[in-house]
Chain A
Amino acid sequence: MAEFFASLVPQFAWDIWNWFPPLVHYLVITLFKILVVMISVILIVAFSTYFERKVIGSMQARVGPNRVGPLGLGQPIADVIKLLIKEVIVPSQSSKFLFVIAPLLTLIPALAAWAVMPLNSDFVIADINAGLLYVLALTSVGVYGVILAGWATNSKYALLGAMRSAAQIVAYEIAMGFALVGVLMAGGSLNLGDIVEAQAGGVSQWFLLPLFPLFVVYWISGVAETNRAPFDVAEGESEIVAGFHVEYSGVAFALFFLAEYANMVLISTLTAIFFLGGWASPFEGWTFLNDISFLSWLTVGGLHWLFLKMCFFMYTFFWLRATFPRYRYDQIMRLGWKVFIPVTIVWIAVEGAMAWFQVGPWSGLGA
């Protein structure tokens, strides 16, 4: 395949390409990879808004968007155009610079975290050793956008939303970090690619089963971290209008929207990587599938598996939103501090004991 595409490029183009020093090659290839990943993420985000409205629509016995294009598939594009041509209003009493930069601060970490994401067995933009820490660090930086938006707007409702969101994210980040400690104990590495490799061998080898409590904690914390229903007190439209983004309109609002969905996609993908074997196929160890010719592709891992797992978790996000009423604020805090953190600490201890007695798939610990 690669040779075929290489033969399409004329020789003089190759000569020009080879004339550049390796540093330029590296930069161009990396920039190209970044572009591909960014555009895919933004497309996924655009269509997940459509997906969300369809899913929630059918859960509430409605049709959802069906006017723009076939099956309403043009809806995200129409939304984008609408938001782009609306006027951006900057409140006169606001802190202008921070007001403008806040949506960017929420969006950038959500996109930057994709740098260490292993999309299949050999595609990853930056294969760094501390990948898991990098992801954790970046997801924790995203909260600044929300806080600054709330403060810079100079409005009571926005500030209240920012306060709620900050307290919530700080609380759930701890549980999230502890859940990841369990993952890295089991995977024996901070490199996301290695964590996926450690789960090779089908469903039974996934961390989902031995780390089930951590999986639940991580997933729910992820929902809380992205400020999605039922943890969306930061927006709380019934009491504080729309929380931190009350005064945002047009493109600035679109950026917040984009960041929220990009974060959801990110958390979904991360959960798939940490607990569901990432790009690995769930049927990997099932050798009898290889004998049946039309089913043998099932055992091969690849991007499509990661995408399917991601879609499943995105669906769960929407499912939760359509199912549960919003949590009361004190209940959120209680769940984060008094339930999740003890659960994770206990399970890490259990995991340690299991590893000591060599029960379960703790591949990395012996080495």
Chain B
Amino acid sequence: MLFQTILFYTFAAVMLGAALGVVFSRNPVHSVMLLVLTFFQAAMLWLLAEAEFLAIVLVLVYVGAVMVLFLFVVMMLDVNIEAAKRGISRLAVPGIAIALLMVVELMQLIWLRGKGEVGSGGFAPTPEGYSNTKALGSVLYTEHVFAFEMAAVILLLAIIAAITLTMRKRPGLKVQNIAEQVAVQAKDRVRIVKMDAEKKQ
């Protein structure tokens, strides 16, 4: 148990440090990498809470896919730090307000938990042979199947919308016809001409 506590505080400390780094880092690429580290630490904390499915899916989806695209975009941008800094003062007031709101909410939750009105912090370790994935799946596909399908439809809608927004037919655009390219034969490209040998002049 002591070992777990040490692990928890290590992960939590690294996570907080990385999260602060995301905000304070001057280089956007460093910020993205620190955000990746934050996600990793969050996944570790979930692993400690025996939510291995959620933890690994967090790494898979956010670290493996979303953040790669993020990094892709950030690397292509030539971010002007000075200009970005000027923007910060303008956004400071709403930013601090939102942060305060979140702190208040968290404090409320902790306070309520202390009074025992919300489910307590400790939870029983799962029994041997309990599969997180199976448990999630059996709830997701039975009780919440409607919500699940709704989410799927919304995501599909988002995909179609994104594609229709970005797919523009420019006039005069040259594209390859792959089928035609694959079907090409040597005789379509090379013409062999038979001719007699020429005499020396």
Contact = CB atoms under 8 A, between A and B. Distances in A.
Given A141-B64, A144-B68, A159-B75, A334 B178 contact: yes
Nearest to B60: A137
Given A23-B3, A159-B75, A173 B53 contact: no
Nearest to B130: A129
B29 interface: yes
Given A141-B59, A190-B133, A331-B178, A130 B52 contact: yes
Nearest to A133: B56
Interface of B: 3, 27, 29-30, 33, 36, 52-53, 56-57, 59-60, 63-65, 68-69, 71-72, 75, 131-133, 176, 178
A130 B72 contact: no
B52 A128 contact: yes
B178 A170 contact: no
A107 interface: no
Contacts of A113: none
A170 B52 contact: no
A330 interface: yes
11 contacts: A23-B3, A98-B30, A133-B57, A133-B133, A137-B57, A143-B68, A144-B33, A147-B68, A147-B71, A162-B75, A173-B64
B56 A134 contact: yes
Contacts of A141: 59, 63-64
A151 B75 CA distance: 7
A71 interface: no
A136 B60 contact: yes
Nearest to A143: B68
A355 interface: no
A365 interface: no
A133 B53 contact: yes
Nearest to A27: B3
Contact of B64 (A129, A137, A163, A167): A137
A331 B71 CA distance: 24
A166 B70 CA distance: 11
Nearest to A184: B133
Contacts of A143: 64, 68
Contacts of A130: 52-53, 56, 132-133
Contacts, number: 72
A148 interface: yes
Contacts of A163: 72, 75
Interface of A: 23, 95, 98, 128-130, 133-134, 136-138, 140-141, 143-144, 147-148, 151, 159, 162-163, 166-167, 169-170, 173, 190, 330-331, 334
Secondary structure class of chain B's binding surface, majority of residues: helix
Given A129-B131, A129-B133, A130-B133, A170 B68 contact: yes
Nearest to B55: A130
A98 B3 CA distance: 32
A166 B69 CA distance: 8
A166 B72 contact: yes
A325 to B, nearest CB: 14
Contacts of B29: 95, 98, 148, 151
A218 to B, nearest CB: 16
Contacts of A166: 68, 71-72
Given A151-B75, A334-B178, A170 B65 contact: yes
B57 to A, nearest CB: 7
A141 B58 CA distance: 12
A136 B56 CA distance: 9
A289 B68 CA distance: 51
B126 to A, nearest CB: 11
Contact of A140 (B30, B64, B131): B64
A151 B74 CA distance: 11
A355 B106 CA distance: 47
Contacts of B59: 137-138, 140-141
Contacts of B176: 330
A330 B174 CA distance: 13
Nearest to B176: A330
Contacts of A129: 52, 131-133
Of B27, B60, B176, most buried by chain A (CB within 10 Å of CB) is B60
A331 B182 CA distance: 11
A159 B69 CA distance: 15
A134 B72 CA distance: 24
A217 B164 CA distance: 27
